Amino acid sequence: MECCVRQGHWPQRISANRVRHRPQTIIRLPIGRWALTGVLDYHEFVRTIIEPFRIKSVEPLRHTTSEQREQYLKDAGYNLFQLRAVNILLDLLTDSGTSAMSTEQWAAVMRGDESYAGSESYYRLEAVTADLMGFRHVIPAHQGRAAERILFTVLCKPGDIVPNNTHFDTTRANIEFRGAQAIDLPIPEAADTQSRIPFKGNMDIAALERLIEAEGAARIPLVMITVTNNSGGVQPVSLANIEAARAVTARGKIPLYLDACRFAENAWFIKCQEPGYADWSPKQIAQKMFSLVDGCTFSAKKDAFANIGGLLCTNDDRLAEQETHLLILTEGFPTYGGLAGRDLDAIAVGLTEVLQPEYLEYRIASTAYLGRHIADHGVPIVEPPGGHAIYIDAGRMLPHISRGQFPGQALAVELYRHAGVRSVEIGSVMFGEHAHHELLRLAIPRRVYTQSHIDYLVEAILTTVRTAFAASRSSRRLSSYGTSARGSAPW
Ligand SMILES: Cc1ncc(COP(=O)(O)O)c(C=O)c1O
């Protein structure tokens, strides 16, 4: 059947098994558009993957004129964090806390039990996490970085080393705040934004072994793996890589943790790309991921569709006791940990919904659709398209703008000026001299924007690139962007 569709003919036969599994590929539909063919095969004749939800409550978008946007940019000092959200048409600053909650989540919000101690909401969340993650202790926190602060305060001391495939900003900051050292160990292939290998978010296991050998296990209180690897271009991590890290850390008796913010999106990549898992459900894959580690930190603002919340999980009773003592100081009693009961219920429902295959198929296809469409027109993206965002390699695309003139920020400003789209620079504005690349990130909030928004975005990016930059390659205007945008908060 795939062959037929590739050639633009309709298939002749309807399969008896309506939901089949097959590898995900990109095809050109008979109507001339690119689409991802699903791993799931619900329909025999119509191959376009659709949003697996319908809309019950809408929030209007506000169109602005280019004169207005020019003024808003000036008022914000060209720092897109300083824009008022109402003046943005499509907001791709972050996927964190920006999800649309479902009817079931809003219903759960109304069920929230706001008891100070022993809330039913906590026990509902605990039941879901016990089934999915299987950890003995689940400690709620107000968001991911609060869980990180508690974990590293208890586990790290000055002089310690924490390896990760790539630390997220807040993870690194919390480790360094304890006087410990955060070391990134991405695989070497990750340095090339254009290489198209699967599981480019993996940890370099040989480098991990060398580090443990050189520094000694006693200096390494834990090893972390971030799934998906957000700061490493949103790339997924394979189960084989987690298993290999497990084997190495077990030899040195070092706890292995997941930064599990986007565990479900990572599970989908494993299902589609790692041999042996095509017939596993995303939940089974996620369960296996969690079974390989001793604990995790989790921001519920990503793969739980919640607008706030986090979790700190462990199998270690003594550690959990120390963590809950610290939790009480700044977050709250262990059965609510800085959240309202209603938030705990929203997270519990979100953790179940996020693993639905139809949702994950659409989610990853939608991101890839954006990435492929702009890449096919010559916009260099970090390849291959990842889970929750597309990164444009602004340094490569705009070689006439030097690092010191912030190509990523120049592109971000032009995209807002031309199309009202907010994105974010990930390069020298954000990391100063530590920046490896000059990137622009387009993060896609979950269940918020439709296919036509994505099509608008493709057109907006392509016209911005063609008009703004072609017309003003040598314009001095471009070089001034970004100078006042330093010091933005991590998201
Ligand atoms: C990989 C990763 N870890 C940790 C965090 C921190 O989570 P939070 O924003 O809930 O504090 C983030 C947030 O974006 C993240 O992407």
Q: What is the pLDDT of residues 129-183, one digit of tens each?
A: 999 999 999 999 999 999 999 999 999 999 999 999 999 999 999 999 999 999 9
Which of 366, 278, 375, 347 lies closest to 126 in space, CA to CA? 347
Q: Is the dihedral of CA 69, 72, 74, 76 positive or negative?
A: negative
Residue recorded with tokens 């993996």: 202
What residue spans define the domains of the chain? 52-88+357-486, 103-353
Q: Residue 7's pLDDT is what?
A: 32
Q: Is the dihedral of CA 68, 69, 72, 73 positive or negative?
A: negative
Atom number in ligand 1 closest to CA 143: 10
Which class is 52-88+357-486 in CATH? alpha beta
- Contact between residue 405 and residue 356 where contact means Cβ atoms under 8 Å apart: no
As its CATH architecture, domain 103-353 has: 3-Layer(aba) Sandwich (3.40)
61 CB-near residues (< 8 Å, 6+ apart): 89, 90
Tell me the HSE value of 410 on the side-chain side, using a 13 A CA sphere.
27
Show the CA angle centred on residue 27, arms to residues 23 and 28, nearest 5°: 170
- Expressed in angstroms and rounded, the spacing between residue 199 Cα and the centre of ligand 1 is 20
Report residue 242's pLDDT band, with 50, 70 and 90 as the boundaries. Answer: very high
- Expressed in angstroms and rounded, the spacing between residue 310 Cα and the centre of ligand 1 is 9
Of the chain, the end-to-end C-alpha distance in Å amounts to 43
Q: How far from 480 is each of 393, 396, 413, 442, CA to CA, in Å?
A: 19, 19, 11, 22
Least confident interval from 66-80, 237-251, 356-370, 471-485: 471-485
- Contact between residue 38 and residue 49 where contact means Cβ atoms under 8 Å apart: yes
Torsion angle, alpha carbons of 120, 98, 455, 399, to 10: -140
- Expressed in angstroms and rounded, the spacing between residue 148 Cα and the centre of ligand 1 is 9
Atom number in ligand 1 closest to CA 147: 11
Q: In this structure, what token pair is assigned to residue 218?
A: 């006693």
Asked whether residue 478 carries a pLDDT value surpassing 70, the answer given is no
- Expressed in angstroms and rounded, the spacing between residue 185 Cα and the centre of ligand 1 is 19
Q: Which residues of 131-159 are buried (b: 16+ CB within 10 A; e: fewer)?
A: ebbebebbbbbbbbbbbbbbbbbbbbeee
Whole-model pTM? 0.89
Q: Which of 149, 150, 170 to mutate to test the pocket of ligand 1 (most atoms within 8 A of CB)?
A: 170
* Size of the chain in residues: 491
d(CA 406, CA 26): 34
Q: Which of 299, 302, 307, 308 to mutate to test the pocket of ligand 1 (most atoms within 8 A of CB)?
A: 299
Q: What is the mean pLDDT of the chain?
A: 89
Q: Please report, as a single letter, which amino acid is at residue 50.
A: I
Q: Which of 230, 298, 312, 391 to mutate to test the pocket of ligand 1 (most atoms within 8 A of CB)?
A: 230
Atom number in ligand 1 closest to CA 299: 10
Which residues have any ligand 1 atom within 6 Å of their CB? 96, 143-145, 168, 170-171, 226, 230, 259, 261, 299, 301, 310, 491
- Expressed in angstroms and rounded, the spacing between residue 407 Cα and the centre of ligand 1 is 25
Q: How far from 81 is each of 13, 29, 73, 253, 329, CA to CA, in Å?
A: 53, 39, 10, 43, 31
- Expressed in angstroms and rounded, the spacing between residue 371 Cα and the centre of ligand 1 is 23
d(CA 168, CA 313): 18
- Expressed in angstroms and rounded, the spacing between residue 298 Cα and the centre of ligand 1 is 8
- Expressed in angstroms and rounded, the spacing between residue 260 Cα and the centre of ligand 1 is 9
Which of 353, 388, 364, 284 lies closest to 39 in space, CA to CA? 364
Q: What is the pLDDT of residues 379-412, one digit of tens each?
A: 999 999 999 999 999 999 999 999 999 999 999 9
CA-nearest residue for atom 5, ligand 1, is: 144
Query: 223: helix, coil or strand?
Result: strand
Q: Residue 436's pLDDT is what?
A: 83
Atom number in ligand 1 closest to CA 309: 10
Asked whether residue 217 carries a pLDDT value surpassing 70, the answer given is yes
Asked whether residue 63 carries a pLDDT value surpassing 60, the answer given is yes
Least confident interval from 30-34, 103-107, 267-271, 451-455: 30-34
Percent of the chain clearing pLDDT 70 (strictly above): 86
Higher-confidence residue: 462 or 489? Answer: 462
Residue recorded with tokens 């790539």: 166
